């Protein structure tokens, strides 16, 4: 398949069910899709899970064919080459895959609090964990308010970016504010 000039014709042949058009499509574009998925997953996670690139590739193909090929029908060779268009779809699908991953709580060393000096007065009632917050939000809020740790310390402790800690704190505060009656 040649570049942009034949892209529209190839897509039309694919939609018409020509097997050879699908073969040419896969030969010319599978590497672009795979490379885009791999780069996207590596950018947002240190190590993609085994088989994840292949799963996302399959999701890209399903997305292209869903609803009678609606997405393929929407391809416009006047706006972008097929390879660029496929890279956008592959990146979007990879990001969707990452968003669907279950959030997991980061395990901390059990003994990290042993060196914290004991308070002489009775400890105040703990605010966290709060049932309205996710496990990650509770974890961050507990470290901020119960243990007086800063954002930088928490990000190192949990091995996440400082912006992630700030974002989790912000989301938790918004959720807790939403529980407060407007007249309070």
Residue 182 has pLDDT above 50, yes or no: yes
Is 180 in the same domain as 116?
A: yes
What SS3 state is found at 105?
A: coil
Number of domains composing the chain: 2
pLDDT value for 7: 86
Q: pLDDT tens across 54-109, in order? A: 999 999 999 999 998 899 999 999 999 999 999 999 999 999 988 887 766 556 66
CATH of the domain at 48: 1.10.1740.10
Angle at 122 between CA 173 and CA 108, to 5 degrees: 55
Do 66 and 120 belong to one domain? no
Helix, strand, coil percent values for the chain (each to nearest 5): 65, 0, 35
Of 73, 100, 127, the residue that ends a domain is 100
Q: Is the pLDDT of residue 47 over 80?
A: no
Query: Is the same domain home to 21 and 94?
Result: yes
Residue 90 sits in the same domain as residue 23: yes
Please provide residue 120's backbone torsions phi and psi, each rounded to the nearest 5 degrees. -80, -30
pTM as predicted: 0.55
162, 173, 177 from 180: Cα distances, Å: 28, 11, 5
123 and 179 inside one domain: yes
Q: Which residue bears the tokens 């119960």?
A: 146
- Residues 75, 156, single domain; the answer is no
Asked if residue 123 and residue 39 are part of one domain, the reply reads: no
Compute the mean pLDDT over every residue in the chain, rounded to the nearest whole number. 84
Say yes or no: 30 and 84 in one domain.
yes
pLDDT in tens, 99-138: 887 766 556 666 656 666 555 555 556 667 788 889 899 8
What domain range includes position 40? 4-100
């Amino acid at each position: 398949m040649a570049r942009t000039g034949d892209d529209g014709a190839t897509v039309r042949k694919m939609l018409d069910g020509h097997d050879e058009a699908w073969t040419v499509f896969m030969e010319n574009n599978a590497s672009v899709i795979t490379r885009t998925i791999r780069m996207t997953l590596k950018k947002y996670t240190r190590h993609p899970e085994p088989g994840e690139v292949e799963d996302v590739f399959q999701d890209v193909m399903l997305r292209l064919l869903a609803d009678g090929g609606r997405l393929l029908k929407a391809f416009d060779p006047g706006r972008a080459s097929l390879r660029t268009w496929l890279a956008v779809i592959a990146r979007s699908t990879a990001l969707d895959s990452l968003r669907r991953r279950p959030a997991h709580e980061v395990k901390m060393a059990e003994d990290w609090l042993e060196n914290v000096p004991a308070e002489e007065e009775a400890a105040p009632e703990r605010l966290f964990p709060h049932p309205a917050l996710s496990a990650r939000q509770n974890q961050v809020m507990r470290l901020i308010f119960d243990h007086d740790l800063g954002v930088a310390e928490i990000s190192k402790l949990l091995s996440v970016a400082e912006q992630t800690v700030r974002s989790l704190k912000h989301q938790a505060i918004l959720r807790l504010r939403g529980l407060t009656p407007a007249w309070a």
